[in-house]
Amino acid sequence: MRTFGKWLGRVLLALLVAAVVIGLWKREEIERLLAVNSLFSEEKIVHNFSHMDGAFLSAPISRGDGLTSELAYGPETELPDAVDDWIAARDVTALVVLKDGAIVYENYFKGTGPEDRRISWSVAKSYLSALVGILLEEGQIASLDDPVTKYAPNLRGSAYDGASLRNVLHMASGVTFDEDYLDYDSDINRMGRVVALGGRLDDFTAELTETFAEPGSQWQYVSIDTHVIGVVVRGATGRSVPELLSEKVIAPLGLEHAPYYIVDGSGTAFVLGGLNMTTRDYARFGQMYAQGGEWNGKQVVPADWVTASTSPTAPTAAGQIGYGYQWWIPVGAAEGEYMARGIYGQYIYVDTARDVVIATNAADRKFREAGVSELNIKIFREIATSVSGGT
């Protein structure tokens, strides 16, 4: 009996040591998984959205060695009374308003500040769109109608076999992908866990096999489409998205702070929603688009791509919000009115005619409730009217 007790004790000790070793070996992965599981919790969401590199692997995006492109300050403007209620109700953390390229309103809430590099979520998609437009003009991507498998041969035999670059830019790939953020087992949440645990998004994407429609026939918001755009960009150039974005977009804009991307276990950028930068720097990108892709005398993004990508050309249903090439166009939009939009209340809103740009970040856990998106657009339009003297 005593021998059995010694044997059992040794087994338990060995198991304990093994558990400790495995725990230390996998500690970072375990910590990231725990962080992801509480990423949107009420008590942590504001902090998390300013410290995403604490929950995920990340990679810096060089801002280049140029001078900061200063944003002038225009006359301070009082915003409509409804904006205060909106800020409180939508858990807004930052709001920057530009009129004619100058800051006329800037404020931060819930303990955040101007140097916080805030997660963009799907606002990042519009940055990748800008990069595609540049690569098309340079001839590194031949045509929007090229099949994605021309540049991403690993997707042959997957659900994306037969889809074109235009299809995925339009969110009209026809690929089945569950984007329910509130369902733990949805595709979007499974994808998040792949990233947190150091998996490869390329492998995750290649394993998708189901479709619900022919490519190009039906619009449905499918975030993994944007990852495929990133695969195309990498395949066409042989370079990483952070390197390309730095050279062709970020450095020319003269940002205040170097951004960073969330990355997967292979170092591949999470291009569909992993870009992090300050709110003023988001505003710079919006202002560059409001100026037809020009910044400080340089054409950063081709002017015709700015127009084409922000026009409602995707096959959305009648009366539905419009979609271009990774940009949103509100219902009833004036010419040149469009926005980049991310979950939990991230926006870059552009009103070209009034030369107004609004960059806002939030931690809005109720962003999916009926009427919230329409309310946000209404507030942006009221702000644009107000800072333009009521016109």
C-alpha to C-alpha distance for 207 and 154, rounded to whole angstroms: 10
Q: Cβ(359)–Cβ(277) under 8 Å?
A: no
Task: Say what percent of the chain tops pLDDT 90.
Answer: 84
What are the pLDDT digits (tens) for 290-306?
A: 999 999 999 999 999 99
Whether residue 26 has pLDDT greater than 70: no
Q: Is 234 left (phi over 0), alpha (psi -120 to 50) or beta?
A: alpha
Give start and end residues of each alpha helix (H) in 50-186.
Answer: 81-89, 123-138, 165-169
Average pLDDT, the chain: 93
Whether residue 5 has pLDDT greater than 80: no
**First vs last C-alpha separation in the chain:** 91
Q: What is the mean pLDDT of residues 127-140?
A: 98
Structure confidence at residue 106 (pLDDT): 97
C-alpha to C-alpha distance for 123 and 339, rounded to whole angstroms: 9
* Whole-Å CA distances, 297 to 247, 300, 326: 17, 9, 26
Whether residue 6 has pLDDT greater than 60: no
Q: What is the DSSP letter of 264?
A: -
Residue 22: pLDDT band with limits 50, 70, 90: very low
Whether residue 17 has pLDDT greater than 60: no
Whether residue 360 has pLDDT greater than 50: yes
- The answer to whether the pTM exceeds 0.85 is yes
Structure confidence at residue 36 (pLDDT): 67
C-alpha to C-alpha distance for 164 and 144, rounded to whole angstroms: 7
Place of tokens 């009115």: 337
**Cα 208-194-364 angle, rounded to 5 deg:** 100
Helix, strand, coil percentages for the chain (3-state, nearest 5): 40, 15, 45
Residue 341 burial (CB < 10 Å; 0-12/13-18/19+)?
Answer: buried
Structure confidence at residue 390 (pLDDT): 85
What are the pLDDT digits (tens) for 39-85?
A: 999 999 999 999 999 889 999 999 999 999 999 999 989 999 999 99
The tokens for 49 are 């959205």
| pLDDT, greater one: 11 or 331 | 331
* Whole-Å CA distances, 275 to 127, 169, 295: 9, 18, 21
Bridge-based pairing of strands 328-329 and 322-323 is: antiparallel
What are the pLDDT digits (tens) for 167-209?
A: 999 999 999 999 888 888 999 989 988 888 889 999 999 999 9
DSSP 155-207: GTTSTTTT-BHHHHHTT---B-----TT-TTSHHHHHHHHHHTT--HHHHHHT
248, amino acid identity: K
Whether residue 10 has pLDDT greater than 90: no
Structure confidence at residue 35 (pLDDT): 66
Distance of CA 252 to the CA centre of its chain: 20
What are the pLDDT digits (tens) for 232-267?
A: 999 999 999 999 999 999 999 999 999 999 999 999
Whether residue 285 has pLDDT greater than 80: yes
